[in-house]
């Protein structure tokens, strides 16, 4: 149950932003595959799943606030080359890391909203990793190379994202290795 209107508004906006990011990354992932970057395609798809996890968490915190809302939320638009689309990914993730989630998290903390605080914390930690991975992928794509990894693993509880091997325990939420979702 969310008691405070501002935290509830932030949850709805974050849900909107994550929902759009999820879809946008699927779209950009298809373009990466067509451009001959199958691994970058997989990275977009995997990170898109992490954004679904975040959207799902925010939606669940709001499960008792039933009704119809108009939701303002930030989203990056446009389709370009994979290098350009990765810049869109970097820009969106950095906005979340540097502007949006720190403020949402502080508000939830100030208002004593434990569920929202956890949900914002999970997203903030994952987005830091996403920004870094998109930057590395972009550096590869700029030199005409695909991003190099065996698999991407996503924690289905918090969206924590890691390359090549899932940890025994998720460092952000404590989920077990066996439940991580693999993208190849
Ligand atoms: Fe992200
Ligand atoms: Fe996790």
Å from CA of 144 to ligand 2 middle = 33
Q: Where are the alpha helices (DSSP H) in the chain?
A: 5-34, 38-61, 82-95, 101-110, 114-142
In the numeric block, the tokens 């090549």 are attached to 164
In the predicted model, what is the mean pLDDT of the chain?
98
Domain coordinates of the chain in residue numbers?
A: 5-146
User: pLDDT of 97-142, one tens digit each?
Assistant: 999 999 999 999 999 999 999 999 999 999 999 999 999 999 999 9
Give the residue-averaged pLDDT of 74-89: 97
For residue 123, the ligand closest to its alpha carbon is 1
Å from CA of 154 to ligand 1 middle = 11
For residue 30, the model assigns a pLDDT of 98
Å from CA of 15 to ligand 1 middle = 12
Q: Give the Cα-Cα-Cα angle 77, 122, 75 (nearest 5 degrees).
A: 10
**CA-CA-CA-CA torsion for 60, 119, 92, 89, nearest 10 degrees?**
-80
Å from CA of 161 to ligand 1 middle = 9
For residue 48, the model assigns a pLDDT of 98
Å from CA of 81 to ligand 2 middle = 32
Asked if 142 and 108 count as a contact pair (C-beta separation under 8 A), the reply is no
Q: Give the Cα-Cα-Cα angle 155, 27, 175 (nearest 5 degrees).
A: 5
User: pLDDT of 144-179, one tens digit each?
Assistant: 999 999 999 999 999 999 999 999 999 999 999 999
State residue 155 phi and psi, 5-degree precision.
-75, 125
Å from CA of 96 to ligand 1 middle = 8
For residue 125, the model assigns a pLDDT of 98
Assigned token pair, 107: 């508000």
Å from CA of 111 to ligand 1 middle = 25
For residue 26, the model assigns a pLDDT of 98
Q: Which CATH number, 3.10.20.90, 1.10.1740.10, 1.20.1260.10, 3.40.190.10, labels domain 5-146?
A: 1.20.1260.10
Model pTM score? 0.97
For residue 21, the ligand closest to its alpha carbon is 1
For residue 162, the ligand closest to its alpha carbon is 2
């Amino acid at each position: 149950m969310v008691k405070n209107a501002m935290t509830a508004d932030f949850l709805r906006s974050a849900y909107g932003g994550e929902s759009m990011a999820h879809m946008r990354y699927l779209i950009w992932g298809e373009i990466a595959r067509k451009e001959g970057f199958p691994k970058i395609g997989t990275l977009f798809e995997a990170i898109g799943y992490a954004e679904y996890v975040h959207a799902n968490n925010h939606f669940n915190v709001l499960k008792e606030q039933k009704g119809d809302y108009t939701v303002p939320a930030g989203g990056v638009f446009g389709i370009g080359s994979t290098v350009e689309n990765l810049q869109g990914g970097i820009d969106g993730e950095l906005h979340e890391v540097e502007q949006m989630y720190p403020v949402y998290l502080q508000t939830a903390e100030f208002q004593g909203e434990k569920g929202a605080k956890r949900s914002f914390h999970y997203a903030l930690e994952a987005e830091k990793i996403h920004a870094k991975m998109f930057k590395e992928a972009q550096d590869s794509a700029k030199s005409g190379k695909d991003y190099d990894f065996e698999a991407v693993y996503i924690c289905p509880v918090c969206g924590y994202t890691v390359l090549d091997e899932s940890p025994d325990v998720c460092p952000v939420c404590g989920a077990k290795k066996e439940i991580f979702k693999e993208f190849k």
